[in-house]
Amino acid sequence: MVATLFIDGVWRAASDNGFHDVHSPHDQSVVATVSQATEADVDDAIAAARRSFDSGIFTSWSFKERSDLVSKIADLLERDADLIARKESDDTGKRFTEAQYDLADVISTFRHFAALGAKEHGRKVDVGLPHVHSQIVHEPLGVASLIGPWNYPLLQIAWKVAPALVAGCSFIVKPSELTPQSAIALMKIIEEAGTPKGVANLILGPGSVVGTLLINDPRVDLVSFTGGLTTGQTIMRAAAQTIKKLALELGGKNPHIIFADADLDAAIDNAVTAAFLHSGQVCSAGTRLIVERSIHDRVVSEIVRRAAKIRLGGPSDEMAETGPLISAAHLRNVSEYVEKGVAEGATLLVGGKRSELPEHANGWYYLPTVLDNAKSSMYCVQEESFGPVMTVEVFDTEAEAIAIGNDTNFGLSGGVWSSDSEKAARVASALRHGTIWVNDFGPYRPAAEWGGYKQSGIGRELGEHGLGEYLEIKHIWTNNAPSRSGWFRD
């Protein structure tokens, strides 16, 4: 019997003893066996979260006390970082060293919110009346469903769990069924740190079974979801029934603009990383290269040369530079995406197929791919492949670069390369995306907000606003010299 559900402070098996195996994307070996929750299990988890919140067992803690708890969790994560990184590496197929970087970011996230929670919350409002005390207070929002993706399993969950704890919310975590091990490890640490019973709950299973309940249940006050646009749209429709608060991060199709006056060596190197890191399975991946026409041949030929040299390999391959795709279904989707791009008129310059190396035969490896001569109207330019596929477009003027960069329904991130600081600032300001990197691509810090414009989602994670998503704002007006209003006659 597998007991990997955490409900109301107890580790337990699914109510029907259901379970499923987690397979490595590297070689399809079984890396874990975990419980698969039933609808009854989800109901129990929501009930436990609702009960703990309404009891005041955690909301009665001060911000300082909750921040101390989150700081302790960070310490415990640091203690177990390599163990958890190994579990995440097994689940995702990414290199162990890459998973170690992710765990460092997870720890930084918990430390950021611990420090943020220790600050003063609320403010006084001067209403011009000496006998009135008017203040704004921040209170825990309620019960939250926290639904994470498979590409950065623990990091994306940490972006939700850490502020939820600091705010005083109760919650149910649902990681992707493809990558559950690090979330299980986190929940054990949350328990060890002394989180009150029922505050933190863990449900495992496919979204089609358990996710729907976590979204629709009227006892849930907030849904925070990171994942695909279609699921996000479903969540928004469902949330309308009970007017839930939503925080949605739905990916992007991110422009990476290189002007002719850029440091081309640095720009090319960053373009390769932006597109092919983690085999493109990054919501902010810079897979839409937009390059000034006069430097197109130089930039693209060098990117193609470097893409062809990228070494693919599994978690334990110390020479590997990137790993497999997450599943057979995703490999099939990426393959079809590239085929459609070529059919639309894009020119395949490198890649465009599954790796044929014998050591990759049992894994989901797809070669880094570059599609040149792309146009904004193409499916491969407008839609997200979530794979190692770069499309290339050209521009002649600054205005054209901006127009192309904004010609998307998404708006998560983008990059601009130019040695002209004023031009770079103009372009960065004009791009309708939540994060813009100038002469860089990809870095973030927990102190800076993260989120998108348009169909990349609503709300923000990280920064100060990331905590605000889990707080209600209340105005309390206290009249210390009460008197009759005198509005109506006796």
How large a percentage of the chain has pLDDT more than 70? 100
Beta bridge partners of 461: 450
Q: Give per-residue pLDDT as tens, 426-464.
A: 999 999 999 999 999 999 999 999 999 999 999 999 999
d(CA 64, CA 87): 32
Nearest partner of 121 among 163, 170, 167, judged by Cα: 167
> So what's the pLDDT on residue 490?
84
* Cα 94 from Cα 323, distance rounded (Å): 5
- Residue whose tokens read 């998503």: 469
Q: What is the pLDDT of residues 318-328, one digit of tens each?
A: 999 999 999 99
Residue 80 has phi, psi (to 5 degrees) of -105, 15
**The pLDDT value given to residue 252:** 94
Q: Are 222 and 169 in contact (CB under 8 A)?
A: yes
Residue 208 pLDDT class (50, 70, 90 cuts):
confident
How many residues make up the chain in this entry? 490
Provide mean pLDDT across the span 395-400: 98
Please identify which residue in the block is written with the tokens 């419980």: 35
d(CA 74, CA 336): 42
For the chain, give the mean pLDDT: 97
Assess contact for 57 and 198: CB atoms under 8 A: yes
Chain centre to alpha carbon of residue 385: 16
Q: Does the pLDDT at position 33 exceed 90?
A: yes
Residues paired with 225 in a beta bridge: 147, 248
Strands 471-479 vs 200-202: parallel, antiparallel or unpaired: unpaired
Name the nearest CA neighbour of 226 among 176, 169, 185: 176
CA dihedral sign, ordered 47, 53, 55, 61: positive
Whether 121 has a pLDDT exceeding 90, the answer reads no
Residues 6+ away with beta carbon under 8 Å from 332: none
- In percent, the amount of the chain with pLDDT more than 90 equals 97
Q: How confident is the model at residue 1 (pLDDT cuts 50, 70, 90)?
A: confident
Mean pLDDT of 261-289: 98
Half-sphere exposure of 250 (CA within 13 A, CB side): 23
Cα–Cα distance, 348 to 370 (Å, whole number)? 6
In the chain the first and final C-alpha atoms are separated, in Å, by 74
Do residues 7 and 201 lie in contact, with contact meaning Cβ atoms separated by under 8 Å? yes
Mind listing the pLDDT tens digit for each residue in 84-98? 999 999 999 999 999
pLDDT of residue 251: 87
What confidence tier does 15 reach under pLDDT thresholds 50, 70, 90? very high
3-state SS of 449-468 is: CECCCHHHEECCECCCHHHH
For residues 6-16, average pLDDT: 98
Q: Mean per-residue pLDDT for 223-240?
A: 94
pTM: 0.96
Quote the tokens at residue 82. Answer: 């390599």
pLDDT tens-digit readout, 53-81: 999 999 999 999 999 999 999 999 999 99
pLDDT at 302 over 90: yes
Distance CA 460, CA 467 (A): 9
Classify strands 30-35 and 19-23 as parallel, antiparallel or unpaired: antiparallel
How many Å apart are CA 90 and CA 94, to the nearest integer?
A: 8
For position 115, what pLDDT does the model report? 97
Q: Could you list the active site residues?
A: 249, 283
Bridge partners (DSSP) of residue 394 are: 291
pLDDT band at 120 (very low <50, low <70, confident <90, very high): confident
> Which pLDDT score, from 0 to 100, does residue 377 have?
95
Burial class of 319 by CB neighbour count within 10 A (0 to 12, 13 to 18, 19+): exposed
